[in-house]
A = this chain, B = another copy of it.
Amino acid sequence: MLRNAPTLADVARLAGVSEITVSRVVRNKGPIAAGTRARVHEAIVKLGYVPNRAAGALASAASPLIGVLLPSLSNIVFPEVLRGIHTALAPTGYQPLIGVTDYDPLKEQHLLSSLLAWQPAAIITTGFEHTDASRQMLSNSRIRVAELMDIDAEPIDIAVGLSQRGAGFDTARHLISRNYRRFGYVGHDWNADHRARLRYEGLRGALAEAGLELKAEERFDGPSSTMAGRETLAALLSQKPDLDVVVFSNDDMAVGGFFHCLGAGIRVGQDLGLFGFNGLDIGQALPLPLSTIRSNRFAIGRIAVEKLMESSRRPEEKLVVDTGYQIIAGATA
């Protein structure tokens, strides 16, 4: 932006009104006579005026920015949440200011303070794992805060997501009802991905209730990926070949598992059941649609924004929105 870009004052002069009137026209605020509005708009177009957001943010101690903290951009899950956020934000004039935490609460804390420096209207972050300092900043700021993906704990303000533990639990219930008994588990690094751990715990809980247990489990030491799923299933089966179903930490891993079976001549759905989590498109495009759980990621982002926008002040009551999950029966388990 140039120093000599037209300002409110320039527009006001050209339209023959005061600056504040132009400001009101631009922000659609307060009563403006139709004729005045027209003249101002004309002047705006003529000069190519674009409001300086920094000045506006400073003067009003508020900005049309929404801080968004995402743990990762490496698989499609969080971009989809972001897409939901974006879709809901687009008609409002708010813009997302993004930070990527790499699943690191300390990084989240640093990013949070630089986001807060912009005086955003709201902050959207992921999960409930924050440093004390982050929590402090968020509650001090008094702006609206949404914590996404999980609803298994008490939010700072709004939580939007699904019960990760419940999803794990219902995975086991579903598979037990389909007469699977010899369960294996293939996961990835859950120091990073806390929600994968919650699903795992839910899974084990339901198995225990049914008097069952995991016959074998293997965790890939790194982030989830198709390749990791493929290799980790191979490792699991070489150690324990007589499983009748394997639950994966997510669809990326499960699709990899499917590919392993394809290569190894294992008939998926007959010799071995496979179950994922997320309901990604890729899983449903497989020759056998993947049995999995739909996690409604787009909706989580969209609904979070909608709820945040309902009021600029944080209400007394904390809000928890359960976006639910649906078991996709599929054909692999």
Contacts and interface: CB of A to CB of B under 8 A. Distances in A.
- Count this chain's copies in the assembly: 2
6 contacts: A51-B117, A73-B86, A74-B79, A76-B76, A95-B99, A255-B282
A66 to B, nearest CB: 11
A206 to B, nearest CB: 30
A268 B289 CA distance: 20
Interface of A: 1-3, 50-55, 57-58, 61, 63, 65, 73-76, 78-80, 82-83, 86, 90, 93, 95-100, 113-120, 140-143, 225-227, 229-230, 255-256, 259, 262-263, 281-282, 284-287
Contacts of A57: 54
A141 to B, nearest CB: 6
A1 B119 contact: yes
Given A117-B1, A282-B226, A75 B73 contact: no
Contacts of A97: 65, 95-98
Given A50-B114, A227-B285, 17 more contacts: A1-B61, A52-B58, A54-B57, A54-B58, A55-B58, A73-B79, A73-B82, A73-B86, A79-B79, A86-B100, A93-B114, A96-B97, A98-B98, A225-B285, A226-B282, A226-B285, A259-B286
Contacts of A82: 73
A116 B90 CA distance: 17
Contacts of A284: 227
Contact of A2 (B99, B142, B281): B142
B262 A285 contact: no
B79 A285 contact: no
B50 A117 contact: yes
Contacts of A230: 285
B98 A83 contact: no
A1 to B, nearest CB: 4
A206 B300 CA distance: 46
Contacts of A80: 73
A143 B100 contact: no
B117 A53 contact: yes
A74 B82 CA distance: 10
Contact of A281 (B143, B226, B262): B226
Nearest to A87: B100
A285 B255 CA distance: 9
Contacts of A51: 117
A230 B1 CA distance: 47
B282 A262 contact: no
Contacts of A118: 53-54
In order of increasing CB-CB distance, the 8 nearest A-B pairs are: A54-B57, A226-B285, A1-B119, A79-B79, A263-B287, A54-B58, A53-B117, A73-B83
A262 B259 contact: no
A226 B280 CA distance: 11
B2 A141 contact: yes
A281 B141 contact: no
A76 B141 CA distance: 34
A149 B53 CA distance: 30
